[in-house]
């Protein structure tokens, strides 16, 4: 992050004396109060100062999430759902939106996070902002609108699987680059930018161009088949993306053809996405786990890794993908390899699926790491047990003279 010498001096003073005000800073620096106020404003735009009171951003790397924020209305059938009729069940209202969910998960995992999202000046908007702020997300750059706050209605079967969903994202669909212009400095100085595919394509293109010019790495969640389709035209080598996180249907939509549900089929489609400037293509396959295809900046061939899904008793699948993306980003920023970050993301998704909440309220990096250790220990134990059984029960093979074993 590029800071002027005067900005660095102010940051150093505030870290040493957090209670200094603008007048105190001016006195220490031998400057005028108005001049210091300008520097403080610039530091806020760059994300170094969080909110009012000159609270400095922690030393941890900062994420900026730009996307949708809406109120989720989730209805779950008490028994196996029967279509075209009324089903007994229960309904709850919770804060949601892909961008907002990712931001809250990131904050709960411990990454300093700013959310840039359109929110209506209404009751749902007030509830969204209060809940998101209480989770630790910085909301200084939220775009307030006279349009109604977005809503997402999901109907779940008794086993927690999604049957159908209806999204009213008009407030996000009408977002413009002009609306986001006040956040230009914040985005340009982020350590990582997460983009929600619900954003209009001109806005996505503007943000990708901004990130490319500033050298900010980008993780992009396509969100849905409909939103993924235009990405074929938006993505390019001139707008590099660190990671794209589609499921199989979204990947098919991006490449313009059905992707075979095999390792080879997914790998082939991922190569086409690499050609669009995407370094890591992380394809989610539900209970079959995921596949991570990675290609270096100056490499032609990609490496492909298959990650099995952790076992989980599903309670509610809503929000699992958002937790998966957030945890992947958090792990990358703390220095994990992309493969280890993907494993961390899958475990966060499993923990979320096991919770009735869209964003698991007790989600922490320590919880995810602990579950990963337990999972690895269980896998090693099972492998050792299987090897012992084979050694005891399998007779030693005889070798045919004159033939090499294979």
Does residue 115 contact residue 88 with C-beta atoms inside 8 Å?
no
Q: Tens digit of pLDDT for each residue in 261-273?
A: 899 999 999 999 9
What backbone torsions phi and psi does residue 115 show, to the nearest 5 degrees?
-110, 130
CATH hierarchy code of domain 5-45? 1.10.10
DSSP H helical ranges for 143-229:
170-173, 177-180, 184-188, 201-214, 225-228
Answer whether residue 109 shows pLDDT above 80: yes
Residues in the chain: 406
Q: Average pLDDT of 68-90?
A: 94
State the Cα torsion 316-322-328-330 to the nearest 10°. -110
3-state SS of 40-61?
HHHHHHCCCECCCCCCECCCCC
337: which residues sit within 8 A by CB, 6+ positions away?
A: none
pTM of the shown model: 0.78
Answer whether residue 3 shows pLDDT above 80: no
Does residue 342 contact residue 84 with C-beta atoms inside 8 Å?
no
Helix, strand, coil shares, percent, the chain, to 5: 45, 20, 35
Burial of 28 (0-12, 13-18, 19+ CB in 10 A): middle
Q: Provide the 10 A C-beta neighbour count for residue 352.
A: 28
Residue 400 pLDDT level (bands cut at 50, 70, 90): very low
What backbone torsions phi and psi does residue 67 show, to the nearest 5 degrees?
175, -155
Q: Average pLDDT of 317-329?
A: 93
Does residue 128 contact residue 100 with C-beta atoms inside 8 Å?
yes
Burial of 381 (0-12, 13-18, 19+ CB in 10 A): exposed
Q: Which residue has the higher pLDDT, 221 or 49?
A: 221
Answer whether residue 388 shows pLDDT above 80: no
Residue with tokens 């969640």: 221
Does residue 66 contact residue 33 with C-beta atoms inside 8 Å?
no
The candidate with the shortest Cα–Cα distance to 320, out of 294, 340, 290, is 290
Complete DSSP assignment for 217-261: -EEEE--SHHHHTTHHHH-BTTB-EEEE--BHHHHHHHHTSPPPS
Q: HSE on the CB side for 254, CA within 13 Å?
A: 32
Does residue 216 contact residue 193 with C-beta atoms inside 8 Å?
yes
pLDDT of residue 404: 32
Residue with tokens 């079967």: 157
pLDDT of residue 299: 75
pLDDT of residue 41: 84
7: which residues sit within 8 A by CB, 6+ positions away?
A: 39, 42, 43, 46, 48
Q: Tens digit of pLDDT for each residue in 342-351?
A: 999 999 999 9
Q: Which residue has the higher pLDDT, 156 or 4?
A: 156
Largest CA distance in the chain: 93
Residue 18, beta-bridge partner list: none
């Amino acid at each position: 992050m590029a800071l002027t010498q005067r900005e660095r001096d102010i940051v150093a003073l505030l870290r040493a004396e957090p209670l200094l005000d603008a007048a105190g800073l001016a006195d220490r620096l031998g400057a005028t109060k108005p001049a210091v106020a300008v520097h403080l404003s610039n530091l806020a735009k760059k994300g170094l100062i969080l909110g009012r009171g000159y609270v400095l951003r922690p030393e941890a790397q900062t994420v900026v999430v730009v996307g949708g924020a809406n109120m989720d209305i989730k209805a779950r059938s008490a028994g196996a759902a029967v279509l075209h009729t009324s089903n007994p069940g229960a309904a709850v209202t919770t804060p949601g939106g892909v961008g907002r969910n990712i931001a809250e998960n990131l904050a709960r995992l411990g990454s300093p996070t700013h959310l840039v999202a359109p929110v209506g000046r209404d009751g749902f908007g007030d509830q969204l902002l209060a809940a998101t702020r209480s989770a630790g997300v910085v909301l200084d750059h939220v775009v307030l609108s006279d349009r109604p706050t977005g809503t997402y209605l999901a109907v779940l079967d008794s086993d927690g699987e999604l049957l159908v969903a209806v999204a009213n994202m008009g407030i996000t669909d009408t977002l413009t680059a002009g609306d986001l212009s006040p956040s230009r400095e914040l985005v340009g100085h982020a350590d990582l930018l997460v983009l929600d595919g619900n954003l209009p394509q001109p806005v996505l293109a503007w943000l990708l161009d901004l990130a490319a010019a500033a050298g900010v790495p980008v993780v992009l969640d396509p969100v849905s088949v409909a939103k993924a389709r235009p990405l074929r035209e938006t993505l390019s080598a001139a707008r590099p993306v660190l990671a794209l996180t589609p499921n199989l249907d979204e990947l098919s939509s991006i490449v313009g053809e059905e992707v075979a549900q095999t390792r080879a089929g997914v790998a082939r489609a991922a190569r086409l996405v690499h050609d669009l400037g995407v370094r890591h293509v992380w394809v989610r396959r539900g209970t079959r786990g995921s596949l991570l295809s990675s290609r270096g900046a100056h490499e032609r061939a990609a490496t492909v890794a298959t990650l099995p899904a952790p076992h989980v008793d599903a309670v509610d699948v809503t929000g699992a993908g958002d937790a998966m993306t957030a945890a992947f980003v958090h792990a990358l920023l703390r220095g994990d390899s992309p493969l280890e970050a993907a494993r961390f993301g899958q475990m966060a998704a499993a923990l979320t699926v096991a919770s009735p909440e869209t964003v698991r309220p007790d989600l922490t990096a320590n919880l995810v790491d602990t579950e990963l250790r337990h999972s690895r220990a269980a896998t090693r134990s099972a492998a050792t047990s299987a090897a012992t059984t084979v050694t005891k029960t399998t007779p030693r093979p005889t070798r045919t003279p004159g033939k090499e074993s294979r």
